[in-house]
Amino acid sequence: MHAFRQVVRSLRVLRASHMAATLRTPHTLRRKLTCAVLGAGVALTAAAWCGSAVARETVSISYQRSSTLFTLLKRSGELEKRLNAQGYDVSWHEISAELLESMNSASVDLNADVADAFALFTQAASAPLTYYAEETSAPSAQAIIVPSDSTIHSVADLRHKRIAVAKGSGCHYLLLAALRKAGLAVNDVNVRYLEAPDALAAFRGGNIDAWVIWDPFLAAEQRDGKARVIADGRDGLVQYNRFYTAKTSFPANHPDVLRTVFQALDETGQWVKAHPQDAARILSPLWRNIPAPTVELANSRRSYRIVPVQRDQLGEQQRIADMYHSAGMIPNALKATDIRIWTPSATTAAQ
């Protein structure tokens, strides 16, 4: 509207100038001047309407500090550069404790990666989300640890012990799977649901006997010599995949954006694995100044391999859903394949 008013004012000025000129200008010149004024008016009007018609759209992206690939893309500005060239702006939203609520409400267009178990809670809540990418298995990136001088040497030794874990996390699934494999039930141990910062204080203060935790907390405790791993997801116990989700209304209308984001994530993941020291040096200050060698150790256990989500490869998701349902953490039985999926070759989200 502002642009339109400017055009009107400009036309009035031109019209006034034209009227004054015609009073003292020969007929032939008057006709040329009239054409020039009309041409200028049309050009101004077209410019105003075109300017309002090409208003840029903004793509909103959520990320956590642990969202390695998006963190690197945000820092480098590479994703903005690519999307700007396609006519989009980007807004970044750091998510912390309110992550689940934010994802369930689909308040942003694209969400960074979350652990496999966490993604199931969004499905259980019928959140309007679509999977658009997956980071493949990293079974040793989370583990059950005990103090380095502990007498506990196996999962079987955890009977009646105090174990800290973040409820509903991928680590929680690791604990349940490890206990089952060792022939223990949840009631055989003393589980304490603590978020990572509180669990860290409890672990270092000797107030718990074991901690089930993910990187980079895991790497930090190992490099400080304060912890010993008694079990992780290897040997087929737990895969530990991570999933990227989008607001379900977004893929069908913006497949070009998702293709660009998928490619950028894939290329960044390959760069991290090919340049571990450079990646660790960049991430260290972004991860609250965790020492670069600790970051490098944590990154060495992540695959950072970005692939399309395949419906027939969601078996691990189903196993997690079944175990969480049995434990009463998910109220209703969940079918993991009943999730919307977008793939790079698709133009709309799969049903």
Are 57-138+241-341 and 142-232 equal in CATH topology? yes
What are the phi and psi torsion angles at 283 (to 5°)?
-75, -25
Mark the ranges of the chain whose per-residue pLDDT is less than 70. Answer: 1-55, 96-106, 346-351
Strands 162-165, 190-193: pairing kind: parallel
Strands 306-307, 129-135: pairing kind: antiparallel
Query: How many CB atoms within 10 Å of residue 133?
Result: 26
Write the CATH number of the domain with boundaries 57-138+241-341. Answer: 3.40.190.10
Homologous superfamily of 142-232: Periplasmic binding protein-like II (3.40.190.10)
Structure token pair of residue 248:
């379900």
Structure token pair of residue 63:
């990320």
Classify the C-alpha dihedral 188-194-196-202 as positive or negative. negative
The pLDDT of residue 314: 97
Return the domain boundaries, the chain.
Answer: 2-53, 57-138+241-341, 142-232
The pLDDT of residue 116: 93
- Euclidean distance between CA atoms 44 and 347, whole angstroms: 38
3-class DSSP state of 135: strand
The pLDDT of residue 132: 97
Q: What angle do CA 251, 127, 324 make, to 5 degrees?
A: 125
- Euclidean distance between CA atoms 321 and 48, whole angstroms: 55
> Nearest Cα to 144, choosing from 133, 135, 156?
156
The pLDDT of residue 55: 66
> Nearest Cα to 10, choosing from 53, 42, 49?
42
Structure token pair of residue 56:
């840029």
The pLDDT of residue 47: 41
Task: Tell whether pTM > 0.85.
Answer: no
Per-residue DSSP letter, 246: E
Per-residue DSSP letter, 183: T
